Amino acid sequence: MGPPGAGKGTQAGRLAERFDMDHLSSGDIFRAEQASGSELGNQLARYMAAGMLVPDDTVVRVMAKAVTESSAIGGLLLDGFPRTVFQAEALDQQLADAGRPLDAVVVIGLDDEAAVERISGRRVCSSTGRAYHTKFMPPRIEGIDDETGEKLIQRDDDTEEIVRARLQAYHDQTAPVIEYYYLRPDLKVIEIDGNQSLEEVNASLVEALQSLGAGRETEEVEDHGH
Ligand code: AMP
């Protein structure tokens, strides 16, 4: 969890790879639905373009399907979901039914002005959505994704006006979810200062996840060149 610009997607992508977990980003799932041109995608797009949260019943329906279809051995890493207490309760219920309750919640904190600065420099791959930053995390070749060679674009909802609406939604609707998780004795809440560099945030997260025995770490295999 964390406000827009905290680095959720970037960190979740890295952790999922390292610990062999399935990275489920609600925003990515919604943007893929939008790109498909479906009626549902058009509905989602209207909320996203305004920086407003998509209604809970729609989110819960779409995400329940994604969670059910996930088969990663190392477990699930949810990114951007849940964002309301209603969603968190629905997720708890679904995970309890599946016998796979939440192990931990990661909260990456970032103040609003830093969020606006980060988001205004953000550029994403037009096909995969991988994020860069013009100043803090530039691609090797300007305007081009390092891996796919596709063009980098600015997300429609990454303008300052819309980012401020997204921050408002975060403070009003998502902050109570953090409270909700804090009150759960069975759950570890890991707080990370998102003002640190990407590498520092990543190192703290890797350490925290290792101490929880999360996933199935693949780093060593990669180190040996396989
Ligand atoms: P993100 O990619 O996480 O920044 O999400 C982009 C947009 O998708 C948000 O501004 C919302 O409009 C919508 N969205 C993503 N996840 C959720 C969620 N869990 N609940 C409601 N709306 C969401």
Residue with the nearest Cα to atom 19 of ligand 1? 81
Cα(183) to ligand 1 centroid in Å equals 24
In the annotation, is 46 catalytic? Answer: no
Q: Is 184 annotated in the active site?
A: no
Task: Tell me how far apart the alpha carbons of residues 175 and 177 are, in angstroms, rounded to a whole number.
Answer: 5
CA pair distance 157, 51, nearest whole angstrom: 6
Residues 141-197 have pLDDT tens digits of: 999 999 999 999 999 999 999 999 999 999 999 999 999 999 999 899 999 999 999
Atom of ligand 1 nearest to the CA of 52: 12
- Residue 118: active-site member: no
pLDDT tens digits, 5-64: 999 999 999 999 999 999 999 999 999 999 999 999 999 999 999 999 999 999 999 999
29, 220 in Cβ contact below 8 A? no
Report the run of H or E that residue 90 belongs to, with start and end: helix 85-98
Ligand 1 atom with least separation from CA of 51: 10
* Tens of pLDDT, residues 73-87: 789 999 999 999 999
pLDDT of residue 219: 57
Q: Which residues line ligand 1 (CB under 6 A)?
A: 4, 26-27, 30, 47-48, 51-54, 59, 80-83, 87, 157, 166
Tokens encoding 176: 């109570």
Of 110, 130, 116, 75, the residue nearest 201 (C-alpha): 110
pLDDT at 223: 46
Identify which of 29, 43, 53 to mutate to test ligand 1's pocket (most ligand atoms within 8 A of the CB).
53
Residue 70 neighbours by CB under 8 Å, 6+ apart: 22, 24, 76
pLDDT for position 177: 98
pLDDT tens by residue, 186-218: 899 999 999 999 999 999 999 999 998 887 777
SS3 content of the chain, % helix, strand, coil (to 5): 50, 15, 35
> Is residue 18 among the annotated active site residues?
no
Residue bearing the bigger pLDDT, 167 or 129: 167
What residue ranges define each of the domains in the chain, with the CATH number in brackets? Answer: 8-223 (3.40.50.300)
Q: Per-residue confidence at 224, pLDDT binned at 50, 70, 90?
A: very low
